[in-house]
Amino acid sequence: MNESSRHRKILQYLSEHTSATVGELVDFLDKSPATIRRDITKLDEGKKLKKVRNGAERIAIELHQNDHALKSLYPKMSDIYNVSENDRIARKAVELCMEKDNVFISEGAATFLMGRYLLSRNIQVYTNYMPLATYLITEDFPHLIILGGQYVKNQNLLVSPDKHKNYQGRYLFCSGDGITEAGLTKSGLLAFMEEKKLVEHVDKIVALIDSDKIGVIGGVLLFSLDELDIVITGKDADPEIITQLKEKNIAVYLV
């Protein structure tokens, strides 16, 4: 197997598994660890994947590197903490949706990463989060409604004084800075206020949250546990808090 074939197979593996260790790729390709490490280094230099300790991660979204105006709106992948986990959370969130669903998506790392998984789905997306909206527009996603308002540049939000009275959806996908036995907390005041407006327009609230934020108080209480319907987080989440969530009849997905 030549180098280009190995590279293609490594990228194929990452498209299905998000991340891979050197050992996993050794078994997959039946090549030596030294060969796999060289391949990872070359693919990382070509920005085809992200080289990590003892392995590689898929680059979650192609960010139109040559378009500086659009690029400025996207979060940098290097700034997203545990991008691999957030990508798995994003993929699971989209998997929950049925074809022709209407869903509201607010700001956050995992909510932005939902974009790539939405592209092949017939799902109506309502959002005021400009990075996600811009990504979907540039990828010709046809099922998008942007919730209008004043653009707040430092938070990449469209903020409106009005409620969105005519819209209704199955899910609100939202992020948070912590979740405890009290509920989901958030530190960004404008995002907090906008998400509160959206609650009456959805059937269920889905929290997408990093595993290291489980058990952490991260600001003002956004939604109590009684208001949350689903939590998607990583497998390393505090099991005690996960048990408390389940006792409140919250569906929990560990990815």
Percent of the chain with pLDDT over 70: 91
Q: At which residue do the structure tokens 């998984």 appear? A: 117
Read off the pLDDT of residues 18-69 as tens digits, 9 standing for 90 and up.
Answer: 789 999 999 999 999 999 999 999 998 887 888 998 999 887 655 444 454 5
Give the least confident one: 111-115, 140-144, 145-149.
145-149
Q: At which residue do the structure tokens 């969530």 appear? A: 245
pTM for the model = 0.73
pLDDT bucket at 147, cuts 50 / 70 / 90: confident
Whether the CA torsion 65, 69, 70, 74 is positive or negative: it is positive
Amino acid in the structure at residue 223:
F
Residue 250 and residue 240 in contact, taking contact as beta carbons nearer than 8 Å: no
Give the chain's length: 255
Look at residues 251, 190, 194, 196 and name the one whose alpha carbon lies nearest to residue 222: 196
The 3-state DSSP class for residue 59 equals coil
Dig out the tokens for 3 from the structure.
């180098």
CA–CA distance, 171 with 176 (Å, rounded to integer): 16
- Where b means 16+ CB within 10 Å and e means fewer, 5-33 reads ebbebbeebbeeebbbebeebbebbebee
Whether the CA torsion 81, 82, 83, 85 is positive or negative: it is negative
CA–CA distance, 49 with 128 (Å, rounded to integer): 29
Q: What's the whole-number mean pLDDT along residues 141-154?
A: 83
Q: What's the whole-number mean pLDDT along residues 97-116?
A: 95
* pLDDT score at 63: 46
CA–CA distance, 71 with 59 (Å, rounded to integer): 15
The 3-state DSSP class for residue 169 equals strand
List Cα–Cα distances, 48 to 81, 172, 247, in angstroms: 19, 32, 43
Q: Tell me, what DSSP letter sits at residue 132?
A: H
Q: Mean pLDDT, the chain, as a whole number?
A: 88
* φ/ψ of residue 249, rounded to 5: 65, 30
Amino acid in the structure at residue 42:
K
* pLDDT score at 151: 74
